[in-house]
Amino acid sequence: MAARRTKLRFILLHFKNTGIDGGLRIMQGLPFELSEYRSRQEQFLMQMPQDSLVIIPNNPKSVRSNDTHYRYRANSYMLYLCGWEEPESIFTALFLDGQWKTTLFVRPRDTNSEIWEGKRIGPEGAINGWPIDQSLTIEDADTYILNAISSGFKPSIIQGLNNRIDNIVLNQDHENGPVIELSDIQDPRSILDIMRTTKSESEIEIMQHAASIASSAHVLAMEKTFPSMGEWQIQAIIEGHFIDSESQWSYPSIVGGGENATILHYSSNSETIVDGDLVLVDAGCEVHGYASDITRTWPVSGTFTEPQKEIYNLVLEAEIAGIEACIAGSPWKSMHEASSAVLARGLVELGILDCSASEALGKNLDGPYRNYFMHGTGHLLGLDVHDVGGGRKGDKKPGPVLKPGMVVTVEPGLYFASWRDDVEIPERYAGIGIRIEDDVLITEEGPVVLSSGCPKSIAEIESIVGKSR
């Protein structure tokens, strides 16, 4: 018991000896007021047992080869709770002296490392600008966490991000055996995921900005499109605009011309788009970690053929129906049901399916229309492009009820790959792949399309494509 008191005293001592700045100074790059982060922390921690030790490590750096790394991106939960973007950091929370205390463990200042990699904020800078109660060096984390566990706190940790901390939690004392049982280890994401599904006004403002940048990038690419252009060139136009607008891509851009548009996650973007083909562009950007996600499909010649028009108008009708179904209080599946009903009926009317509309749809939305529309209609959008909170195709649990403040994508499509031998592909539509996707905010008054600045009618697109070639 005496040892446990000593360890707990060690934890408390850190707080007493830390010069905590209670002001509202925001450091450059922190997108929200400190009060918003504090509010998120309070909402989160009030749902946690008071004997919890919350541990949220940042993402590790990922090595591409030798001493070359992939571009670093902070963990979304770290961004959500305190906006910290440096690697090798850990956010923790403990209930001490009748209140929750937060600690951010960060890399210390190091002149030699900073010469090579850039300046670090360090614990001294972190405590004066970020929404935390104390900041310590990352070297203190091991002892701090082990002492907290030994004092009776039970870890609530996101595992798989920091092997060293995972090992401490799982093997707290190699000499005397574990201090806690594996069953005592919890995952804080079950609470945080629900919180993240509903966006604040300031989050929505950033997401609107990201959607506007992505919309402008698509328009710019349309304007500069010409026959025999490379997929990579369209990618360069779009991602160049992202960078020029102080953003970065939120997922690898898909630029698929002709048959490549029928491959859902096409990624090579390495082929030339021939005259008469469509190009499907699925590209979005990220601002302060918040994603946009837009898909448009257009003819490289500037004019849709009649078969292309038929499929395009059907997909557009389905997309509009899906957006109109994004009503607060509606089940998640509402938009998928609405889009699917339009697609199933349209495939019958075009003679692609030889059955009734209801048969095409199927009892559980599993009818033959799924031969040409294989994916879900949308997903939640936020700090991750396929955001947390459920609703993704393949999830075991049903998606969430639509609530004001949620941002979702609506993205039906039809794909007629001529190379498929598992289904009949009508010659008239062979090689056509079309998807249309928008970012939609759920409000009490109805859906608001954040990406409305990106044209999608045939008339609008034909008036733009090739304008600046």
- 266-288 average pLDDT score: 98
- Flag whether pLDDT at 369 surpasses 80: yes
Question: Which residue bears the tokens 């028009």?
Answer: 309
- 148-158 average pLDDT score: 93
The model carries a pTM of 0.93
How far is 12 from 15, CA to CA, in rounded Å?
5
- 24-42 average pLDDT score: 79
- Flag whether pLDDT at 319 surpasses 60: yes
Q: How many CB atoms lie within 10 A of CB 110?
A: 12
- 434-451 average pLDDT score: 98
- Flag whether pLDDT at 24 surpasses 90: no
Looking at residue 395, what is its pLDDT?
A: 73
Looking at residue 184, what is its pLDDT?
A: 85
Looking at residue 150, what is its pLDDT?
A: 87
The secondary structure of 125-169 as a DSSP string is HHHTTSS-SEEEEGGGHHHHHHHHHHTTPEEEE-TTS-HHHHHHH
Q: Express each pLDDT in 335-363 by its tens digit.
A: 999 999 999 999 999 999 999 999 999 99
Domains, the chain, ordered by start: 2-195 (3.40.350.10), 198-464 (3.90.230.10)
How far is 36 from 288, CA to CA, in rounded Å?
15
Q: Express each pLDDT in 175-203 by its tens digit.
A: 655 567 788 899 999 999 999 999 999 99
The helix or strand, by DSSP H or E, that contains position 12, with its residue range, turns out to be helix 2-16
Confidence of residue 14 (pLDDT cuts 50, 70, 90): low
Distances (CA, A) of 355 to 283, 339, 346: 36, 19, 12
Q: Express each pLDDT in 64-76 by its tens digit.
A: 999 899 999 999 9
What SS3 state is found at 356?
coil
Phi, psi of 53 (to 5 degrees): -110, 100
What SS3 state is found at 56?
strand
Which amino acid does the sequence have at 253?
A: S
- Flag whether pLDDT at 331 surpasses 50: yes
How far is 253 from 261, CA to CA, in rounded Å?
13
Q: What percent of the chain has a predicted confidence (pLDDT) above 90?
A: 86
- Flag whether pLDDT at 5 surpasses 70: no
* Positions marked active-site: 67, 265, 282, 293, 375, 379, 386, 411, 415, 435, 437
Looking at residue 398, what is its pLDDT?
A: 81
- End-to-end alpha carbon distance in the chain: 77
- 366-376 average pLDDT score: 97
- 46-59 average pLDDT score: 97
C-beta of residue 377 within 8 angstroms of C-beta of residue 339: yes
Phi, psi of 212 (to 5 degrees): -70, -40
Total residue count of the chain as it appears in this document: 469
- Flag whether pLDDT at 373 surpasses 50: yes
- Label each residue of 199-239 as H, E or C: CCHHHHHHHHHHHHHHHHHHHHHHHHCCCCCEHHHHHHHHH
Confidence of residue 21 (pLDDT cuts 50, 70, 90): very low
Q: Which residues contact 233 (CB under 8 A, 6 or more apart)?
A: none
Mean pLDDT of the chain: 93
C-beta of residue 147 within 8 angstroms of C-beta of residue 10: yes
In this structure, the strands spanning 99-106 and 134-137 are parallel
Distances (CA, A) of 365 to 360, 371, 372, 376, 377: 9, 12, 13, 11, 12
Q: Express each pLDDT in 225-256 by its tens digit.
A: 999 999 999 999 999 999 999 999 999 999 99
Looking at residue 95, what is its pLDDT?
A: 97
Looking at residue 17, what is its pLDDT?
A: 46
- Flag whether pLDDT at 273 surpasses 50: yes
The secondary structure of 427-468 as a DSSP string is GGGTTEEEE-BEEEE--TT--EETTTTS--SHHHHHHHTTTT
- Flag whether pLDDT at 257 surpasses 60: yes
